[in-house]
Amino acid sequence: METQKDALKTGRIDAVLGARFPHREALDVSDEQAPVRICHRYLGTRKDQLKHAEAIAEGLPIGSGEIESAHRYVAQKRLKLPGAWWLVEHAEHMLALRINRLNGDWEAYWAGIAANTHAPANLNQPKLSPKAAA
């Protein structure tokens, strides 16, 4: 396992696929019972996305943990202020602006607004709701 993890981290995806290939389950085995085949298919169809070496060199995370916990500092930090309450549609727009800012797109977004060439911060417009979000 460590060898395979090292190969992924150093950009040797073909080595990982090659090591998994002989262990793939037969085609008559259902996907639910074929974890090696599922893994092989997953990695094989995402070869262009698995640029771990580049991400590590740029100091970017390669795991999903940071993204999965982003709600703590993107949404909750702003939405859960003492005494704060929100209408759902307003919270959606505020979160879209926070994401623009965190992604480094803040200046470009506002420059686009000023030039009247930029779409709203939240392209996925929520349905208007009279309910307040917690």
Residue-level pLDDT at 126: 45
Cβ neighbours of residue 70 under 8 Å, at least 6 residues apart?
none
Last residue of some domain: 34, 63, 92? Answer: 63
- Domain ranges, residue 19: 2-63
Of 20, 37, 63, the last residue of a domain is 63
| Domain identity same for 56 and 85 | no
Cα(45)–Cα(23) distance, integer angstroms: 18
What H or E segment, with its residue span, contains residue 99?
helix 88-102
Backbone angles phi, psi at 86, to 5 degrees: -140, 145
Q: Are strands 86-87 and 132-133 parallel, antiparallel or unpaired?
A: antiparallel
pLDDT at residue 1, as a whole number: 86
Pick out the chain residues at pLDDT < 50: 124-126, 133-134
Q: What is the tally of structural domains in the chain?
A: 2
CB-based contacts of 92: which residues, under 8 Å, 6+ apart?
122, 124, 126
Structure tokens at 122: 């939240």
Q: Are 66 and 59 in contact (CB under 8 A)?
A: no
Same domain, 93 and 47: no
